Amino acid sequence: MSTRRNVQAALCLASALALLVTASAAWAGQPGKSPVKVFILAGQSNMEGQGVIAADPKRNEGKGSLEYLVKNPATAERFKHLVDKDGKWVVRDDVWIWYLGRKGGLTVGYGAKETLIGPELEFGNVVGDYFENQVLLVKVAWGGKSLGKDFRPPSSGGEVGPSYTELVKQVKDVLGNLKTLFPDYDGKGYELAGFGWHQGWNDRINQAFNDEYEKNMANFIRDIRKDLGAKDLPFVIAETGMSGREETHPRALSLMRAQAAVAEYPEFKGNVAFVGTRDFWRPKEVSPSAQAYHWNSSAETYFLIGGAMGEAMIKLCGKR
């Protein structure tokens, strides 16, 4: 009897261990459901992201930095989801990001430098909260690039922009190597879910580029959809609204009107959205710098732009 009981006990223990192993396997790896929802974020330096993370007392007492916003009682509530109970920056495993070779779970430091943020941070939080799926942000951005030349789409004629060609290549390379880049990927497929665009400075300082911006933007959307094989891919255009409501330069105003106009095309109804950003402008007195063309390096501004882009994107995705 003693031997039989021992055998039964051993069998029960083995079964229990098997259940634990199965449970562990079920929870390991990709935390979000499949298919992976892939969002592309592209543009120039303001999509790269110039929002300062650390609160430097020498830079306007730290005002406008992400650390200041998290700790300041007046703004802490809005930014509390960015830090854990110990005050450390949250890293989201259900939202991956790839930015020109840098990769991992979404957190701070995916701006132009690891000390900066861009629109990707709050964009990723918004879409990550909305979808039960795993989310992947593929960010492809370089400073000082125009739509008139660098990102020039094939349908606009002339030489195709080298940044356009590289953008398409980089996206395809990432999607073709998901398991290598993100070992937790379960291999069950992905879906191109949306495209976010924040760019414009190098076109608004060039009259010729400015004059054809609306045409180039519309062609860019059509060509990107064609070259990535994603018909009616949801597309969000974030206004190049630096200097806010005080902006009066004719070219700047013209370019912003062009960006808004594209979203009103009948063919883009329900699949392209324009996001106004001028109200997100913060003056230099409450910002880390006086670089107007980089939104005065305000992390708050980049946070708000990303959040607005994310909200516009999930509305478009819902319409699909």
pLDDT of the residue at 74: 96
Report the share of the chain in percent with pLDDT over 90: 90
Is 239 inside a domain boundary?
yes
- Tokens encoding 205: 């300082």
Is 149 inside a domain boundary?
yes
**Amino acid (one-letter) located at 263:** A
- φ, ψ at 256 (rounded to 5°): -65, -35
How large is the angle between the packed helices 250-262 and 213-227, nearest 10 degrees?
40
Beta bridge partners of 99: 102, 139
**Mean pLDDT of the chain, nearest integer:** 92
Is 138 inside a domain boundary?
yes
pLDDT of the residue at 15: 43
Is 17 inside a domain boundary?
no
Using one digit for the tens of pLDDT, what is the confidence trace for 217-234?
999 999 999 999 999 999
Give the contacts of 269 (CB within 8 A, at least 6 positions apart): none
Residue with tokens 């949801």: 234
Which pLDDT band, with edges at 50, 70 and 90, does 319 fall under? confident
Question: How many helical (H) and strand (E) elements, i.e. helices and strands, does the chain have?
Answer: 12, 9
Please answer whether residues 224 and 195 qualify as being in contact, where contact means their C-beta atoms are separated by less than 8 angstroms. Answer: yes
Whether the pLDDT of residue 236 is over 60: the answer is: yes
pLDDT of the residue at 320: 64
- φ, ψ at 197 (rounded to 5°): -130, 125
Residue 64 belongs to domain spanning: 31-319
Is 112 inside a domain boundary?
yes
Number of domains in the chain: 1
- Tokens encoding 306: 């990303």
Please answer whether residues 134 and 93 qualify as being in contact, where contact means their C-beta atoms are separated by less than 8 angstroms. Answer: no
In Å, the largest CA–CA distance within the chain is 95
Which pLDDT band, with edges at 50, 70 and 90, does 9 fall under? very low
Instruction: Identify the CATH number of the domain in which residue 82 sits.
Output: 3.40.50.1110
User: Is residue 296 helix, strand or coil?
Assistant: helix
Using one digit for the tens of pLDDT, what is the confidence trace for 248-298?
999 999 999 999 999 999 999 999 999 999 999 999 999 999 999 999 999
Is 194 inside a domain boundary?
yes
Is 20 inside a domain boundary?
no
Buried b (16+ CB within 10 A) or exposed e, 252-283: bebbbebbeebbeeeebeebbbbbebeebbbe
Give the contacts of 83 (CB within 8 A, at least 6 positions apart): 70, 89, 90
Q: What is the mean pLDDT of residues 43-48?
A: 98
| CA separation for the pair 81, 241 (Å, rounded) | 26
- Tokens encoding 18: 């098997």
Using one digit for the tens of pLDDT, what is the confidence trace for 59-117?
999 999 999 999 999 999 999 999 999 999 999 999 999 999 999 999 999 999 999 99
Give ∠ CA 189-194-200 in degrees, rounded to 5: 140
Is 247 inside a domain boundary?
yes
